[in-house]
Amino acid sequence: MSERELTLLVEGRLELLGRIPRGSNAAFLVQVSCGDDSDYAVYKPETGERPLFDFEPGLHRRERAAYLLSEYLGWGIVPPTVIREDSPMGIGSLQLFIECDFREHYFTLYADAPETHRRLLQIALFDCVANNTDRKSGHVLRGHDGTVWGIDHGLCFSAGFKLRTVIWDFAGAAIPGTLLEGIAPLAETVPQDVAELLDDAEVTALQRRVRRLLREGVLPVDRTGMRYPWPLV
């Protein structure tokens, strides 16, 4: 992604087009415009969040933190995401909308597109680092340019281990050395722009998860069979 997308998200005028259906929390499709340039984005206002017992209000901060972590790693998993206060329904996250074939998702990509497997393993590792509690199959998209993305990261970075994901096909697989090298610095220091969106316990827990991944060198295995989100897609 280029500076164009980030400029649009940060500075663009927002036009609310409609609500995106079926989500637990309110999400809206918006058009973002700067002069003659425009694009689509997904807007998730804090006011549209359903109260949760295990996450404080303000899931937009976690959406932004996931993007910043993805960028720090250089993995480009999360579409450009910013926090906007001057939004139609108040403060919330604004993420570039990915044009894709929504008939494709994790299950179809794993089964029908083996060339995506390395990318899917990378997303699985990212979810372990971020402690993703909600990696549904439909949260993995392949853009029209072939890029495989991960979206919906509002339920990440809990201090307690809460990993719930559909990506268990790589359980027990060795983590490629280049990916281990990528996450290794996080064992000692979490980037400030990520850390300031989390609390101290969540930052410490992220470092602890990275140290375990570095020590074991393999993706975790769910021996309970219970670490799946619902619905699966």
Q: Is the pLDDT reported for residue 152 higher than 90?
A: yes
Fold of 3-216: Transferase(Phosphotransferase); domain 1 (1.10.510)
DSSP 173: P
Side by side, the strands of the sheet bearing 13-19 are 13-19, 28-34, 37-45, 92-96, 81-84
Of 167, 182, 187, the residue nearest 229 (C-alpha) = 167
What pLDDT does residue 117 have?
98
Question: Mean per-residue pLDDT for 171-187?
Answer: 98
User: What value does the mean pLDDT take over residues 182-204?
Assistant: 98
Rounded-to-integer distance, Cα 229 and Cα 15, Å: 32
Binned at pLDDT 50, 70 and 90, residue 24 comes out as confident
From the CA atom positions of the chain, what is the Rg in Å?
17
pLDDT of residue 2: 74
- pLDDT at residue 1 tops 70: no
pLDDT at 111 (0 to 100): 98
Please name the residue that has the structure tokens 């809460």: 162
Average pLDDT, the chain: 97
Rounded mean pLDDT of 39-63? 96
Question: pTM to 2 decimals?
Answer: 0.97
Band the pLDDT of 145: cuts 50, 70, 90.
very high
Percent of the chain with pLDDT over 70: 100
Average pLDDT over residues 200-215: 98
Question: Contact at 8 Å (CB) between 135 and 105?
Answer: no
Question: What is the rounded CA–CA span in Å between residue 10 and residue 16?
Answer: 16
What was the pLDDT predicted at 102?
Answer: 93
Coil, helix or strand at residue 218: strand
23 band by pLDDT with thresholds 50, 70 and 90 = confident
At 129-141, the pLDDT tens digits run 999 999 999 999 9
